[in-house]
Chains A and B, each alone.
Chain A
Amino acid sequence: MCGRCLEISRRSLLVGGGVAAAALSTGVAQARVLPRDMVPLVGPGYRPTEKDEKGIWQLMDRAEEEISGSNLLIEDPKLTGYLRDLIGTVGGPAAKDFRIYLAHVPDFNAMMFPTGFAVVFSGLLLRMRNEAQLAGVIAHEAGHFLRRHQIRSWRDQKRKTDILAFASMLAGVGGAAGGVYLGDYVQLAQLGTLLTLFSYSRAMEAEADAMGIKLIAEAGYDPRQMPTVWQQLIGEEAASARYRRKRRQKGSLFDTHPSPDSRLADLRLSAAEVTVPGKLYNDYRARYLGVLGPFRQTLLEDQVKLNDPGASQYLINTLAQDGWNGLLRFYEGEIWRLRNRPGDEERAAQSYAAAVLYADAPADAYRWHGIQLLKAGRTGEAKAAFARYLTMKPNAPDAAWVRQMVS
């Protein structure tokens, strides 16, 4: 008889099995986590009692020592005090126990560590339009701690990899005994384990979203601002991808977080649920802008100089919804100048010319305005702009070069 007919080819096994494992782990879209189900699992002054959690806390305490001494941190007391007050407001039962650090990194990110200290990146502060949005992100991180995600994740990971290790060992022993090669099944099992770990992680991120929106609504922040954060991020990613003529990454099985699109959809529904009719909600935009103050220029500079024109333009236009000013016009010009496609020099020149009409134009705007005028052959006006620059910043780093241009 055809003994080979029953043999599955190795390739078809791996491909077919991989598809099956993937299908198992996605299945139907995960059901939305309801905010009302999110109760804190820790109280104030929480300390671990179980051995594995104690071990993790020891490691994390060492990590916190290193992070708190890192020179990537921004130590401005106004900003750090503001963040501390914020997490004190939306931190639920553990509000007094949280620590929060601000790192000078131009990405949109924030993370919570198992011992209750959080790190927020400066790129996040650029993208938040008001205090409610920032509170939403911080409350999400607090949610991770209040729902004990890190230890649950650790235990889930240990359990699943233990099962995998044991099963692989059995497969090796049994396979050898039976004369059958089971390596491919082991590979599939590895993939399956990985996928369920990522899926578990996505479920916990969804829990943190639900807990977060509940916390900010209770604190009096407008809960609809939380889905708006994701709307803004999607817009930014789409603009960035569109500029580079590629598709925005929609998400993969290996994502540790649900896609921004699904987070947006779920949070919109959750926002409606947690809104108490008749209660007054606020987004405290003015207070937020007041605290950021001069730091905003640093944030814009960090972002614009990464030369991601699609994303930077989207962010500037979003911020300009609250009104154009010299600062935003100047950085708009910077985006064009760095983009440097045909015609961008003229666009940049126009933006700089617009920027210097405002009272709040930064000194650099005059210098760049001067350079563009110089290139356009308008030497007299260029010298005037350079002179203004030198008046505003007599000790500018490039004063020597500018003086040469003026003379």
Chain B
Amino acid sequence: MIKPALLAAAALALPACSTLGSGESGYSAFAPVRVHRVSVGDGSLIVTPPRPYNRFRSISWEDIREVEDWTLNGPYLDGISFVTGLKSDRYLIRQRRTASQQVPKFRANMTPPEIAEMLESFFRVRGGAVDFRTLGIQPRAFLGQPGFQFDYEHLDGDELWRKGRVVGAIVNGRLYLVLFDAARSHYYNAVLPDFEAIVASAELRRS
């Protein structure tokens, strides 16, 4: 089933990429991220990973500039996604105007429960989730702004329970968030400290 990475195109392309293999043609959909300050998404957010990570290389026009996905063990097991500077009235992913089921737009006047539901819709419409449970929405400071933390878990069509945490804030009418989604069995707890370290290191580019 489709793994709910925010980069839907990359998730769909994953089987194709794995058959290509890096041994035969030297091509891989992943690029390494080293342990230093790195800007993500559209460049307005800077984070420092605590260990080397892998990021999805943006190769197709289907990618949204403001969204970037990282993974440690592969997108089916864990993933950290960054949404940086998403403007009001924009979508998290590209979708056809005629698609019957659609992920809702982001609006700058959204409250945290509304942002949480936008993400829930993303998982249900694009991520193949058949059951989605909100575990918590609470206030949390992010990037020096009063933001929120959203905890959830979901059961996907591939029968795997995944658990996730989102920390985000709306800064000058734009959405910034870091989303962590991993298999509930082992991987969530194992990678959560990395996520918290990345969130703690997050800063806005001063420009």
Give the complex CA separation of A306 and B127 in angstroms: 11
**Residues of B within 8 A of A (CB-CB), count:** 36
- Which one of A70, A72, A371, A397 has the highest number of Cβ atoms from chain B below 10 Å of its Cβ? A397
A400 touches B136 (CB 8 A): yes
A interface residues, Cβ below 8 angstroms from B: 70-72, 104-106, 240-241, 244-246, 302, 305-308, 310-311, 337-340, 367-368, 371, 374-375, 397-398, 400-401, 404
The answer to the question of B199 belonging to the interface, with a C-beta cut-off of 8 Å to chain A, is no
Give the complex CA separation of A302 and B123 in angstroms: 12
- Closest approach, in angstroms, between the C-beta of B194 and any C-beta of chain A? 24
Give the complex CA separation of A337 and B134 in angstroms: 18
A244 touches B148 (CB 8 A): no
In the complex with contacts A70-B159, A338-B117, A371-B111, A307-B101 CB distance below 8 A = yes
Q: Which of B101, B107, B113, B134 contacts A308 (CB 8 A)?
A: B101
The answer to the question of B43 belonging to the interface, with a C-beta cut-off of 8 Å to chain A, is no
In the complex with contacts A104-B131, A305-B117, A307-B104, A244-B97 CB distance below 8 A = yes
In the complex with contacts A72-B130, A72-B155, A340-B103 CB distance below 8 A = no
Hey, which chain A residues are within 8 Å of B134, CB to CB? Answer: 397-398
Give the complex CA separation of A401 and B117 in angstroms: 15
A72 touches B157 (CB 8 A): yes
The answer to the question of B138 belonging to the interface, with a C-beta cut-off of 8 Å to chain A, is yes
Give the complex CA separation of A72 and B161 in angstroms: 10
B interface residues, Cβ below 8 angstroms from A: 97-105, 107, 109, 111-114, 116-117, 120-121, 124-125, 130-132, 134-139, 148, 151, 155, 157, 159, 161
Hey, which chain A residues are within 8 Å of B113, CB to CB? Answer: 367-368, 371, 398, 401
Give the complex CA separation of A374 and B120 in angstroms: 22
Hey, which chain A residues are within 8 Å of B157, CB to CB? Answer: 72, 105
8 A-B pairs with the lowest CB-CB distances in the bound complex, closest first: A398-B137, A400-B138, A306-B101, A397-B134, A308-B101, A401-B137, A246-B98, A308-B100
Hey, which chain B residues are within 8 Å of A374, CB to CB? Answer: 111
Q: Which of A105, A244, A367 contacts B98 (CB 8 A)?
A: A244
Give the complex CA separation of A71 and B129 in angstroms: 13
Give the complex CA separation of A305 and B122 in angstroms: 9
Q: Which of A72, A367, A397 contacts B135 (CB 8 A)?
A: A397
Residue of A nearest to B102 (CB): A307
Offer 14 A-B interface pairs, CB within 8 angstroms, sorted by A. A71-B159, A72-B130, A105-B130, A105-B157, A302-B124, A308-B101, A340-B105, A340-B107, A367-B113, A375-B111, A397-B136, A401-B112, A401-B139, A404-B139
A398 touches B138 (CB 8 A): yes
Hey, which chain B residues are within 8 Å of A400, CB to CB? Answer: 136-139
- Closest approach, in angstroms, between the C-beta of B127 and any C-beta of chain A? 12
